[in-house]
Structure 1
Amino acid sequence: MLKFIKGNLESIDGVAVYPMVSLLIFFIFFVGLFAWVITAKKEHINQVSNIPLEEDNNELS
């Protein structure tokens, strides 16, 4: 099965660029996410983490 995929990919010009682009997108996304987590305000993190624990006063009984 792999030889069929490998054979098809070898016939495409410039196919080696796609793994590099996908790795770059992956790396940029997680570096950005890490930067956001480090710079996020503690108040916002506490507020968002308590959302599942709050009672909803607008529930219909």
Structure 2
Amino acid sequence: MKFSQYLEKIAGVGVYPMISLLLFVFFFTVVTILVFKQNQAEINHIENLPLDN
């Protein structure tokens, strides 16, 4: 049997792709918001760490 035939036998299997899409969009949105809210002074400090002795 093919893998898709196993999935057809599971009741309500169509909801799993939607849940995974919503989780991805939620995670991507949260990470994007955190990146744009990052303090500029902290970003400058972190980017200069490899150059400092």
TM-score range, shorter chain: 0.7 to 0.9
Separation in 2, partners of 1:14, 1:52: 51
Bigger Rg over Cα: 1
Question: How far has the Cα of 1:44 moved from its partner?
Answer: 1.1
Structure 1 gap segments, 5+ residues each:
56-61
Fraction of identical pairs, as percent:
40
Indicate the structure whose relative CO is greater, using CA pairs within 8 Å and at least 6 residues apart.
2
**The residue matched to 2:2 in structure 1 has which SS?**
helix
Residues 1:31 and 2:29 aligned together: yes
Task: Number of aligned residue pairs: give it.
Answer: 53
Any residues of structure 2 matched to 1:44-55 within 5 Å, and which? Answer: 44-55=42-53
Q: Which of 2, 8, 17 is 1:4 aligned to?
A: 2
CA RMSD of the aligned region, Å? 1.4
Residues 1:13 and 2:11 aligned together: yes
Moved over 4 A (4+): none
- After TM superposition, the score normalised by the length of structure 1 is 0.75
- After TM superposition, the score normalised by the length of structure 2 is 0.84
Show CA shifts across 1:2-26 (max 9, x none).
Answer: x711100000001111101111111
